[in-house]
Amino acid sequence: MSVKDGFTWHPFDIEFGVKTSGLIAGRNLKCGSQADRHNTAYFGVAPSVFHELVAQWRRSKPAGTIDEFTFIDLGAGMGRALLLASEFPFRKVIGVELNPKLAQIARRNVASWKARGLAVTPIRVICGDAVEFKIPTGPCVAFMFNPFGAPVMRRLLSAWGKSMAGREGQLDILYINHEQELVLRRHPDLVRMFAGKVMRSPADAIADHKILANQPDGEYAVTNWEDCSIYRWMGKASSQK
Ligand SMILES: C[S@@+](CC[C@H](N)C(=O)[O-])C[C@H]1O[C@@H](n2cnc3c(N)ncnc32)[C@H](O)[C@@H]1O
């Protein structure tokens, strides 16, 4: 793994004394998992896009107040979305990250974030494949910032299809840079609550353009917005709340 790919600091890290900046290509994140070949990349979410999508979710009439929901970042990377989520009064915040080195960095970031008193909610980082993570009981928000390709997304939804039977609590999906949106749209238990472009703030756009401009081979593109969607699991189980 190399953190040199396109490395420049994002102002979020400078402001809060954490390390979540940079781009790491998927091919440099291999860790011996069958999910490795579908790993897209590491790149921290733009805080402005994160905040706007959470606001959009709150407007989508979730079945309960935010403090009833567990926030789960599937593909947590260095933990930027976990830190941002912990500023909201979620019941708890959980990150699942495939790459052990990134999970370790995320844990360090969480520790320094907590030491600064910035978290209002407990945060836990788990190292493993998102497909194997069992969604906890109770209302949950599953967050994804384009972590993996279609085969893993299909495996994830298939695992959820089995475990959702009898499970209590709503499950909502917040998906940023939703390249595999079609997999969600075709799933019979999912209903789309929102789809659209969410703009980066000027500061995030400048920072992200700088990071991507440093790539050795221009492999990844950046725009001033992210294509996003929100889905709600409407299978038999989740209609009960
Ligand atoms: C684009 S980064 C997003 C980081 C973080 N969620 C954020 O928003 O700042 C995607 C992350 O997903 C991780 N990932 C890819 N496939 C995964 C899998 N099957 N299970 C868990 N994490 C995975 C990658 O290693 C990478 O760190």
State if residue 77 touches ligand 1 by the CB under 6 angstroms criterion.
yes
Q: How much is the mean pLDDT over the chain?
A: 93
Query: What's the CA angle centered on 9, arms 5 and 12, to 5 degrees?
Result: 130
Instruction: Find residue 123's DSSP bridge partners.
Output: 93
Question: What radius of gyration do the chain's Cα atoms show?
Answer: 17
Q: Are 60 and 193 in contact (CB under 8 A)?
A: yes
User: One-letter amino acid identity for 134?
Assistant: K
Angle between helices 202-213 and 47-58 (to 10 degrees): 130
Q: What is the DSSP code (8-state) at residue 45?
A: P
- Tell me, what's the pLDDT at 79? 98
Nearest to 54, CA basis, from 29, 82, 28: 82
CATH homologous superfamily of 11-240: Vaccinia Virus protein VP39 (3.40.50.150)
User: One-letter amino acid identity for 79?
Assistant: G
State if residue 29 touches ligand 1 by the CB under 6 angstroms criterion.
yes
Distance from Cα 25 to the centre of ligand 1, integer Å: 11
Query: What's the CA angle centered on 133, arms 132 and 137, to 5 degrees?
Result: 135
- Tell me, what's the pLDDT at 229? 98
Q: Which residues of the chain have pLDDT under 70?
A: 1-7, 236-241
Q: What is the pLDDT of residues 162-209, one digit of tens each?
A: 988 888 899 999 999 999 999 999 999 999 999 999 999 999 999 999
- Tell me, what's the pLDDT at 240? 40
Please state the domain extents for the chain: 11-240
- Tell me, what's the pLDDT at 63? 93
Residue given tokens 């921290």 in the structure block: 44
State if residue 44 touches ligand 1 by the CB under 6 angstroms criterion.
yes
Give CA–CA dist 93/73, Å, rounded. 8
User: One-letter amino acid identity for 116?
Assistant: R
- Tell me, what's the pLDDT at 7? 65
Residue given tokens 């409407």 in the structure block: 234
- Tell me, what's the pLDDT at 4? 52
- Tell me, what's the pLDDT at 219? 85
Would you state the structure tokens that stand for residue 76, as one six-digit string?
């947590």
- Tell me, what's the pLDDT at 221? 84
State if residue 41 touches ligand 1 by the CB under 6 angstroms criterion.
yes
The reported pTM is: 0.95
Q: Are 110 and 82 in contact (CB under 8 A)?
A: yes
Q: Which residues contact 212 (CB under 8 A, 6 or more apart)?
A: 6, 23, 220, 221, 222
**CA distance readout (Å), 160 to 130, 136, 173:** 11, 11, 12
- Tell me, what's the pLDDT at 3? 47
To test the ligand 1 pocket, which listed residue (18, 40, 94) has its Cβ within 8 A of the most ligand atoms?
Answer: 40
